[in-house]
């Protein structure tokens, strides 16, 4: 049985993340989505809110589990018995950072493998930070996030 860990801030989860989750869940026996508890960047949603939004989004996936974590990703991967860490790569913007993190993680935990999925063409431009700008400017997020995520963004940013 092969378990994969998909770690991230998910502030909030988008259809781009969900596309990666769907593809990973069709390859691995189990996918654990690891929601960083306290990342170094400042976030809009609390860890509990981000976990709830992810849980609602993946309710239909039978082999996907959602957990918040703190500390090192590779340590959490070992804790949940994940041999593989999954990440998504959008054109140009993600590669350098992911490469750097992958090399460091490999040094820290040679037993954990990284697997990067190329972002779906439809979601190449999609980022959680861009969504926040669009909502603030009154734009439409159809096809970018699940409806409950759109509602949560509006509540947080417009009320």
Interacting residue ranges for ligand ADP, rule: CB under 6 A? 8-10, 14, 16-17, 20, 39, 87-88, 90, 94, 119, 123, 126-128
Q: Is the dihedral of CA 56, 87, 92, 36 positive or negative?
A: positive
Question: Minimum Å distance from CB 66 to ligand ADP?
Answer: 13
Query: Residue 88 or 146: which CB sits closer to ligand ADP?
Result: 88
Query: Residue 66 or 126: which CB sits closer to ligand ADP?
Result: 126
Of the residues 22, 83, 90, 106, only one is catalytic, namely: 90
Query: Residue 15 or 30: which CB sits closer to ligand ADP?
Result: 15
Closest listed residue to residue 128, CA positions, set 8, 24, 36: 8
Of the residues 9, 17, 30, 57, only one is catalytic, namely: 17
**Helices of type H across 4-158:** 15-27, 47-57, 73-79, 95-108, 128-136, 147-158
Question: Minimum Å distance from CB 46 to ligand ADP?
Answer: 15
To the query of whether residue 41 is one of the catalytic residues in this protein, the response is: yes
To the query of whether residue 90 is one of the catalytic residues in this protein, the response is: yes
- Whole-angstrom Cα distance, residue 39 to residue 33? 15
- Whole-angstrom Cα distance, residue 29 to residue 23? 12
Cis, bond preceding 152 (omega within 30 deg of 0): no
Residue numbers annotated as active site? 17, 41, 90, 128
């Amino acid at each position: 049985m092969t378990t994969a860990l998909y770690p991230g801030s998910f502030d909030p989860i988008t259809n781009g993340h969900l596309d990666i989750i769907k593809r990973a869940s069709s390859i691995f026996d189990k996918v654990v989505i690891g929601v960083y508890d306290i990342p170094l960047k400042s976030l809009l949603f609390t860890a509990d809110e981000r976990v709830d939004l992810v849980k609602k989004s993946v309710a239909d996936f039978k082999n996907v589990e959602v957990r918040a974590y703190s500390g090192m990703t590779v340590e959490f991967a070992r804790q949940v018995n994940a041999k593989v860490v999954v990440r998504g790569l959008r054109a140009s913007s993600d590669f350098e950072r992911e490469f750097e993190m992958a090399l460091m993680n490999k040094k820290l935990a040679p037993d954990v493998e990284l697997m990067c999925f190329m972002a779906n063409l439809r979601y190449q431009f999609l980022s959680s930070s861009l969504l926040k700008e669009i909502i603030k400017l009154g734009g439409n997020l159809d096809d970018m996030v699940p409806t409950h995520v759109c509602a949560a963004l509006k509540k947080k940013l417009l009320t």
